[in-house]
Structure 1
Amino acid sequence: MTAALEVRGLTTRFETRGGDVTAVNNVSFSVEKGRILGLVGESGSGKSVTGFSILGLIDPPGEVCAGEVLVDGNDLRKLSDEDMRKMRGNRVAMVFQDPMMTLNPVLRVGDQMAMAVRVHRKMSKAEAWEESRKALDTVGIPSPEERLRAYPHQLSGGMRQRVAIAMALLHSPAVIIADEATTALDVSIQGQILAEVRDLADRTGAAIVWITHDLAVVSSLADDICVMYAGRIVERGTAEQVIGQPRHPYTKGLLDSIPARHEPGTPLPQIPGSTPQLSRLPSGCPFRPRCPRATEVCATEPPVVTVDGQTVLCHHPLERT
């Protein structure tokens, strides 16, 4: 099946007083239509910067300096600024962690959604309002006509996030990038939205990149998982492979720290240390100072090892059982 989104060798750097910092380092992955890719890692691993880089939303002193981003076979990095603006929200949409970044607090929800529709399609305000109502209904919002007439502050956090997802769906995009879209919500609302996102991918055929620090979330949502560390993808495979048979020590450390995988009252294992500063990465494998399997060879660039479609960037990958 042809990939709806294909990222090849994406590299993003930021110019700082301490020198250039590579926040996204030669990242490659693809997402097929109707599938969900979980992009996972600790804060500072480069997940969100990857999402913004795909959409061309990196401002100076940052720069996407290498790579290709293919949507419908077209390289977004070769588009003019005007063509890229036409592409955003139309063929590629983004859902932010805080829906108030998407919603204007002084405009009714319906007015905002109708404006978003009319930016890309010629239709009357009444027609755009009806398209907006259908989008709210699609994401399971009750009484959508009433919600269209509400202001953002009159809606709960979960409802605002549903509105943000509905806005992303207005133009039936080929690709949706969701950046920590349920992190600020309570567990019950989070579960509802995750179920709706899974259903939307199945029904609309949109390819979804779900950015999160929570492996527990993507284990029940994603078809495929990429694990990021210090700007690199260190492990990639199907959700079943990565969750059931992690091969990178970092992935295993993340999984071992999930409370649900341990008996109540048992101390949780922790990955020692913290994410390194991108301006002071160690030589070779960036995970080396925190890795229980590190040896002298880990001071050299780690090889890419692929078995049955599961890829790991490591000198000492965990054995498959």
Structure 2
Amino acid sequence: MADTTNTSAPTLVAAQAAAPTLEVRNLQTHFFTRAGVVKAVNDVSFTIGRGKVLGLVGESGSGKTVTGFSIMKLIDPPGRIVGGSILFQGRDLATLSEEEMRTLRGNRIAMIFQDPMMTLNPVLRIDTQMIETVQAHEKVSDADARARARDALGMVGIPSPDERLKSYPHQFSGGMRQRVAIAIALLHRPDLIVADEPTTALDVTIQGQILAEVQKLCATTGTAMLWITHDLSVVAGLADDIAVMYAGRVVEYGDVGEVLDAPLHPYTHGLIGSVPSRNKRGVPLRQIPGMTPSLLNLPEGCSFRARCPRAAEDCIVMPTLHPWLPNRLARCHHPHLEEVESA
């Protein structure tokens, strides 16, 4: 009789090591309302490797925050994930129970919310919250947990961290509370961080400091990060890759430098063109005409065609996310290939 003992174990370990930290495949998250079905996330796919940062950008209502909440399995009724898979180190989060997700959240997967009070309890001191966060996943002494909490506060630029640990959230400014929330997310050096516009409320100096710490964390510990934002300048300096969302779908995906220098999709082109620094002084700002379509009643075919200067008859058919160039994808029938060739 053949010996099959442990023959699959090395293969399984090798497969997990080779797998990207996060791979989202054809994710669909819908909200079932009285007015109809809101397709907030509609066939979204992307991959984040170990130690890499993916910038997820788009205007308000594009579905980027719902994508982040879906990965964390924090979608409340009437919303739910209706399709696709969310592979974290090869393990499909979409199939896990709430108890199994709780062991991962805050430990191996962390989220930084746009509103820090979604992280902080207003009636507990900061040290209580941070120590409990450490001890919820690791058996360490109060002194060791406090030391880790103090170091995390110092990492995000909070002065006199020993003293500030004794404070309550209401004794901090909005920006300071956000820094505490970021520090809590960094406590366990997670394998994946989902950051939902975490530096919006911070001044430029502190924002730069936190971005530098985030880059250092990813480079030294291998943490993968999904950075959700509308700020292209932050993505340009932080991310390795970029995914641009519009009306619930990814419309462009690729290397951040290549996409920002020579965008393929007309929406990305318009988004970059509307940045004030891209416009000449004294010339009116360029802007994308029209309004984002309602997710309750999306138009047939390409969702951007009513606003697109390159729209044609074939845009009545929804384009696929096509690999027009090496490592460059765009959901468009008429991408700006001519500008890439001249760049």
TM-score > 0.5, shorter chain as reference = yes
Following superposition, the deviation at residue 294 of structure 1 comes to 0.4
Structure 1 counterpart of 2:331, from 313, 318, 321: 313
* Cα deviations by residue, 1:83-140 (Å, 9 ceiling, x for unpaired): 1111111111000112122112222111110111111122332332122122223334
Following superposition, the deviation at residue 186 of structure 1 comes to 2.9
* Cα deviations by residue, 1:237-273 (Å, 9 ceiling, x for unpaired): 0111110110000001000011111223321100011
For 1:270-285, what aligned pairs fall within 5 Å after superposition?
270-285=287-302
Tell me, yes or no, if the aligned pair for 2:273 and 2:286 is still in contact at 8 Å.
yes
Partner SS for 2:188: coil
Partner of 2:99: 82
Count of aligned residue pairs for this structure pair: 321
Tell me, yes or no, if the aligned pair for 1:226 and 1:237 is still in contact at 8 Å.
yes
Tell me, yes or no, if the aligned pair for 1:12 and 1:25 is still in contact at 8 Å.
yes
Whole-angstrom distance in 1 between the partners of 2:212 and 2:287: 30
Partner of 2:67: 50
**Compared CA separation, residues 100 and 192, structure 1 to 2 (3 A):** same
Q: Name which of structure 1's ranges 177-186 and 251-260 shifts more when overlaid on structure 2.
A: 177-186
Whole-angstrom distance in 2 between the partners of 1:191 and 1:133: 21
For 1:159-238, what aligned pairs fall within 5 Å after superposition?
159-238=176-255
**Compared CA separation, residues 280 and 8, structure 1 to 2 (3 A):** same
Tell me, yes or no, if the aligned pair for 1:5 and 1:72 is still in contact at 8 Å.
yes
Partner SS for 2:73: coil
Whole-angstrom distance in 2 between the partners of 1:304 and 1:80: 31
Task: Kindly provide the amino acid, as one letter, of the partner of residue 48 in structure 2.
Answer: V
Following superposition, the deviation at residue 227 of structure 1 comes to 0.1
Consecutive unaligned residues in structure 2, runs of 5 or more:
1-17
Which of 1 and 2 has greater Rg? 2
Following superposition, the deviation at residue 206 of structure 1 comes to 0.8
Partner SS for 2:252: strand
Whole-angstrom distance in 2 between the partners of 1:269 and 1:27: 28
Partner of 1:256: 273
Following superposition, the deviation at residue 289 of structure 1 comes to 0.5
Q: Name which of structure 1's ranges 71-80 and 225-234 shifts more when overlaid on structure 2.
A: 71-80
**Compared CA separation, residues 138 and 187, structure 1 to 2 (3 A):** closer
Tell me, yes or no, if the aligned pair for 2:28 and 2:81 is still in contact at 8 Å.
yes
Partner SS for 1:120: coil
Task: Kindly provide the amino acid, as one letter, of the partner of residue 280 in structure 1.
Answer: N
Structure 1 vs Structure 2 CA RMSD: 1.5
Partner of 1:117: 134
* Cα deviations by residue, 1:53-102 (Å, 9 ceiling, x for unpaired): 00100111101011111112211112111111111111110001121221
Partner of 2:7: none
- TM-score, normalised by the number of residues in structure 2: 0.90
Following superposition, the deviation at residue 41 of structure 1 comes to 0.3
Partner of 1:67: 84
Partner SS for 2:31: strand
Task: Kindly provide the amino acid, as one letter, of the partner of residue 208 in structure 1.
Answer: M
Structure 1 position 18 matched with structure 2 position 35: yes
- TM-score, normalised by the number of residues in structure 1: 0.96
Partner SS for 2:56: strand
Following superposition, the deviation at residue 172 of structure 1 comes to 1.6
Partner of 1:144: 161
For 1:296-311, what aligned pairs fall within 5 Å after superposition?
296-306=313-323, 307-311=325-329
Partner SS for 1:3: coil
* Cα deviations by residue, 1:163-211 (Å, 9 ceiling, x for unpaired): 1111111112110001011112233332332222222222222101000
Tell me, yes or no, if the aligned pair for 1:7 and 1:27 is still in contact at 8 Å.
yes
Whole-angstrom distance in 2 between the partners of 1:230 and 1:124: 48
Following superposition, the deviation at residue 6 of structure 1 comes to 1.0
* Cα deviations by residue, 1:220-240 (Å, 9 ceiling, x for unpaired): 111100000010000000111
Tell me, yes or no, if the aligned pair for 2:56 and 2:227 is still in contact at 8 Å.
yes
Whole-angstrom distance in 1 between the partners of 2:165 and 2:54: 31
Partner of 1:288: 305
Tell me, yes or no, if the aligned pair for 1:158 and 1:189 is still in contact at 8 Å.
no
